Amino acid sequence: MPGNGPIIHFPTEEEQQATLDEFAREMQRVKERKESVSPQKLTEALETISDYLKTGWSTGGGRRLRQFVWSLWNGYHLINIYDLSSGLDGRLTDAVIVVFHAAMVDALSEDQKRLVLKESGEFARWEQVSAETPEDEEVLYPPFPMSTEGLRRVAHSAEQSDRRIEQQRRTEQAREASDE
């Protein structure tokens, strides 16, 4: 029957141009945010973190910095930002702020992350832990910021959440099927 199908709107040339103009403005804003990071300040911040981790990696601040730097590298963001900010001196906090800002605006390159991990000794420490880890286990480096029991509780909660989400998905699918 005519009129029951979807209505397709083809944008006018003016609408297409407006969309392209907005896209160009957004791309310019992205470029400006990226350029807002001073390369010199970023290099200094990365050196500050790397230098501290060479000798202070086993301290409380070093633990926090390791979790931060590795989270930038591997995407495992198991770091409490409050814990990070409250456990560092002003110089290290300033360095973290610069690096975090650079990461958020995509001004922090993979090469820069790799260099910090290499120069600080973190890659070597990871290699050592990796060599000591049985083949059937994951390499846990840097150490997680919570206990084994805490991780078990998180895993249990994650499993329960997955089950609830799956049940909601199935309920929604059944409702959609019955509406057809």
Residues 120 and 171 in one domain: no
Q: In sequence order, what are the residues at sequence separation of 6 or more whose Cβ sits closer than 8 angstroms to the Cβ of residue 133?
A: 139, 140
Minimum mean pLDDT range among 16-20, 76-80, 145-149, 154-158: 76-80
Give the chain's mean pLDDT: 91
Task: Tell me, yes or no, whether 140 lies in a domain.
Answer: yes
Residues 166 and 102 in one domain: no
Residues 127 and 137 in one domain: yes
Residues 138 and 160 in one domain: no
Q: Which two tokens stand for residue 59?
A: 């301290």
Percent of the chain with pLDDT strictly greater than 70: 98
145 pLDDT band, cuts 50/70/90, is confident
Task: Tell me, yes or no, whether 98 lies in a domain.
Answer: yes
Residues 71 and 122 in one domain: yes
Query: What is the predicted pLDDT for the residue at 84?
Result: 86
Residues 131 and 64 in one domain: yes
Residues 101 and 177 in one domain: no
Residues 72 and 120 in one domain: yes
The better pLDDT of the pair 74, 145 is held by: 74
| Full domain range(s) for residue 153 | 146-180
Question: Mean pLDDT across the stretch 134-146?
Answer: 87
Residues 57 and 138 in one domain: yes
Per-position DSSP letters for 80-129, written without gaps between them: -HHHHHHTS-HHHHHHHHHHHHHHHTT-S-HHHHHHHHHHTTHHHHHHHH
Query: What is the predicted pLDDT for the residue at 178?
Result: 86
Res. 3: pLDDT tops 80: no
Number of domains in the chain: 2
Task: Tell me, yes or no, whether 4 lies in a domain.
Answer: no
Question: Mean pLDDT across the stretch 95-122?
Answer: 96
Write the pLDDT tens digit of every residue in 66-92.
999 999 998 877 788 888 888 899 999
Write the pLDDT tens digit of every residue in 25-66.
999 999 999 999 999 999 999 999 999 999 999 998 899 999
Write the pLDDT tens digit of every residue in 158-176.
999 999 999 999 999 998 8
Specify the 3-state DSSP secondary structure of 70. helix
Residues 92 and 78 in one domain: yes
Residues 173 and 153 in one domain: yes
Task: Tell me, yes or no, whether 11 lies in a domain.
Answer: no
